[in-house]
Amino acid sequence: MLMRDDTTQGDGCTQPAVVGGILLKAIVDALVDAIVTIDEEGRICMANPATERLFGYPLSELVGRNVAMLMPEPDHSHHDGYLHNYLHGGVRKIIGIGREVSGRRRDGSIFPVYLSVAEVQHADRRYFAGIIHDLSARKSIEDALRDSEESLRLTLDNAPIGIASADLSGRLLDVNPAFAALLGYAREELVGMYLADITHPEDREDTRRHYMALVQGEVPHYTLLKRYLRKNGDVIHARARAGLIRDAAGQPVRVVGEVEDETERLRAAQEIQHMRAYLKNIIDSMPSVLVGVDSEGRVTAWNHSAEHSTGIASVDAVGQAFTDVFPELAAQMHNVSEAIRRHEPVRTERLPVKRDGETRYAQVMVYPLLANGAVGAVIRMDDITERIRVEQMMVQTEKMLTVGGLAAGMAHEISNPLSVILQSAQNLLRRVSADLPANRVKADELGLDLHTLGRYLEARGVTDFITGIQEAGTRASRIVSDMLAFSRRSSSRHTPNRLDDMLEAVVRLAASDYDLKKKYDFRQIQIERDYDPALGEVLCDRIQIEQVLLNLIKNAAHAMADAGTPPPRRIGLRTRRDGDFACIEVEDNGPGMDATTCKRAFEPFFTTKEAGTGTGLGLSVSYFIVTEQHKGSISINSRPGEGCRFTIRLSIADTEAV
Amino acid sequence: MNLRVLVVDDEPGIARSLQAYLEDEGMEVLSTGSAEEALELVRSGAVFDVCIMDMRLPGMDGDAAIRHLHHVRPRMQYIIHTGTVVYDLPDDLRAIGIGSGQLFTKPLPDMALLVNTIRSLGVAR
């Protein structure tokens, strides 16, 4: 410690005081804090070694100088003024109090210090002793603390997920901007609100239970997928995680939680889900059989039609070799490999497939799966039996039109020789008969016994041969006239007719039909009528439609007679309206037809009758008349043993427009 | 008195068989192969109750033949025997009393039907 001379001068210290003075000096010299004593003028009287260390001045440069040298501005300039003010009755601003101020080192650097000043009275003079504690070290800790708080705040403020803290009752204490933005509130608005206020009503109970479990220490934290309510009422889906904060004593003080918006993710997931269901729906709703396979031929997809066709459920089929679960397609394995290798579809037209004892035709398309590097193929199979049948029908109809055209041209040429054949045969039979007087006259003239001749002709089968000529000629003439029907052009003779009138006319005709009467007794058939009286007239070619109806009624009568249908045999005749169509139904309780017969019934020359009985053209002529000449439709509804119903639909839109 | 019938058909087999059948029914039958011959026959004084007329004939066709014959013999009745299915009876022939019951399409497997019609026409006459 360096002192000014006057401070030590005349100091009459007692022995203990001397000891105390030495000790004090040692303490002051050893102190970490600087001690600087100034007089009333502000001059430094005394400074300890710590002062030297702290400010960088040698003690020799300090003593006797104004203490303001140790202060930065503005204190540097004002210190004398402070001192003066105090000495002349001013209030204590620092003395006995102490405060944080700045010090100035010799090198000009400024550093924080804690200054406490004591006033000392000695020999009528006042001194001020300043104890200066270097705050640099503590300051940097505080700065670090402040920095880390600032950093934490910045982190929270900029965190992309919502973070909030709440008290144990669930009242929000603080939220970050992301949390506020998520819920559409200002931060100040949220503070003080309860979690329940921002939770979807249906999720409040669940949230409350989890929160209570957390607060009561049953769980250390929880994660909850829940819905929040935004300020504007919108619902958002979010994942909430919460944890409990305890104080040093382990008592729960608050809950901190983070909230992540899941709305978009959920929507995306839902969209994927929806898209997946939609694609599945598309695949399942396809009438085609659709089988997805990998490059090994194992099933990866199996739609409803595939299930239906095979009777094997999708879950059972997937993973199996398709050749095992769909043996009909076994031959397609080669095509699967081909399609994958060549990167293009491979098609098989008209693959015959046996189904319930019936041959059906399938079109099979195998196409490779190319997207996303997936290796595999899809086998699509369509039943094209109906299409082929319709195509064949069309081809047949075309043929019949051609034949009909030819027949029309040839009708006269054919009908003349047929007339000769038939009429000659009739004359032949008559002229060998013993019943005709003219025959007897001539026979007597020649000495011939007609009875003997008759027996001879019978015995040798000559009569049968002649009958054979007649029957064959009759049949040929019917075929010609049926074929002629195909040559007729439509619509020129369409007139308005009541369908029930036509049916009645046809019933009368059938009852008197020679051919029908000869083989079957039409009177034994009950005709049941169910006519719609409100059904008006329909534009049609009366003769043609009557031909169709007669054909249907005769077919019914024949079928029932041939099958030996037990009485009562019935034919139901019905007319009704169906939208823009007038319907005629001809129904019987006869033997019915199987599915194959139903499908082929309209084909030309398809007949179930004994060879030689019909022309095989009756229904195809009917089909032609209804569909081609009248643009209507004709269909069969029948099962074996359950009778048969034909339905004819004719448009009535035209009639009403007239 | 026996009914007198004229058969006009260019197909001899048909004309012959019709004639044979009707004769067996006790009718007096003449047949010709053309309309012109028939007309000549009638103009030369032959009288018939009923004429069975083919439509498609060499030379004059059946329709025209009936018109001419009707002019000469207004009371003669006609049966039209045609090989064409789509035959439409002309209005002027309807006007002279030919109805659809008098139309027969070839081939005719049973000539008994023809006989009945001829008889009823002959009676009406």
**What is the predicted pLDDT for the residue at A17?**
60
Q: How many domains does chain B have?
A: 1
Q: Is B21 on the interface with A (CB under 8 A)?
A: yes
Q: Which of B100, B69, B73 is nearest to B87 (CA)?
A: B100
Q: Is the pLDDT of residue A490 over 60?
A: no
Q: Are A163 and A256 in contact (CB under 8 A)?
A: yes
Of the pLDDT bands very low, low, confident and very high (cuts 50, 70, 90), residue A583 is: very high
Q: What is the mean pLDDT of chain A?
A: 84
Of B14, B56, B105, nearest to A423 by CB-CB distance is: B14
Smallest CA–CA distance, residue A282 to chain B, in Å, is 55
**Chain A CB contacts of B11 below 8 Å:** 416-417, 419-420
> What local confidence, expressed as pLDDT, does residue A458 receive?
92
Mean pLDDT of A397-421: 76
Is the confidence at residue A520, as pLDDT, over 70?
A: no
Nearest to A426 among B14, B106, B110 (CB): B110
User: What is the reported pLDDT for A604?
Assistant: 74
Please compute, for residue A226, the number of CA atoms within 13 A of its CA located in the half-sphere on the CB side: 27
Q: Which residue of A has its CA nearest to B24?
A: A438
Give contacts of B 100-119 with A, CB under 8 A. Answer: 105-111
Residue span of the structural domain in which B39 resides: 4-124
Q: Is the pLDDT of residue A13 over 60?
A: no
Question: What average pLDDT does the segment B30-46 reach?
Answer: 94
Candidates A412, A422, A488; nearest CB to B109: A422
Round to whole Å and give the CA distance between B61 and A48. Answer: 161
CATH number of the domain encompassing residue B117: 3.40.50.2300
The one-letter amino acid at A52: E
Nearest to A594 by CA among A539, A647, A641: A641
pTM over cut 0.80: no
Cβ neighbour number for residue A150 with a 10 Å cutoff: 11
pLDDT surpasses 90 at A11: no
Q: Is pLDDT at A9 greater than 70 in this prediction?
A: no
| pLDDT level of residue A12 (50, 70, 90 thresholds) | very low
Query: Residue A333 has what pLDDT?
Result: 85
Which domains are seen in chain A, by residue range? 2-140 (3.30.450.20), 159-267 (3.30.450.20), 287-383 (3.30.450.20), 390-485 (no CATH), 495-657 (3.30.565.10)
ipTM over 0.95: no
Q: What are phi and psi of A615, to 5 degrees?
A: -90, -15
What φ, ψ does residue A133 adopt, rounded to 5°? -105, 125
> Of the given ranges (A380-384, A519-523, A597-601), which has the lowest mean pLDDT?
A519-523
Compute the distance between CA of residue B13 and CA of residue A423 in angstroms, rounded to an integer: 9
Q: Is B122 on the interface with A (CB under 8 A)?
A: no
Q: Is the pLDDT of residue A276 over 70?
A: yes
Residue B27: its chain A contacts at CB < 8 A? Answer: none
User: pLDDT tens for residues A365-377?
Assistant: 999 987 766 688 9
pLDDT band of residue A477 (cuts 50, 70, 90) is confident
Facing residue for B18 by CB, picked from A423, A473, A474: A423
For residues A171-189, average pLDDT? 92
Task: In whole angstroms, give the CA distance from residue A540 to residue A218.
Answer: 89
Of A493, A488, A491, A475, residue with least CA distance to A405: A488
Q: Which residue of B has its CA nearest to A412?
A: B83
pLDDT at position A410 is 73
Query: Which residues of A, range 293-352, sit inside 8 Å of B by Cβ?
Result: none
Q: If DSSP codes are grouped into helix, strand and coil, which group holds residue A388?
A: helix
Query: Hey, are the CB atoms on A426 and B83 less than 8 Å from each other?
Result: no
Residue A603 clears pLDDT 90, i.e. is over it:
no
Nearest residue to A111 via CA among A63, A66, A71, A75: A71
DSSP-derived letter for residue B102 is: G
How large is the C-alpha radius of gyration of chain B? 13
- CB A418 to CB B84 under 8 A? no
How confident is the model over A283-298, as a mean pLDDT?
89
- CA torsion angle A578 A584 A587 A592 (round to 10): -80
Does the CB of B61 have a partner CB in chain A at under 8 Å? no
Looking up tokens 């290796």 gives A375
pLDDT digits (tens, 9 = 90+) for A419-455: 999 999 999 999 999 888 889 999 999 999 999 999 9
CB pair distance less than 8 Å for A419 and B106 = yes
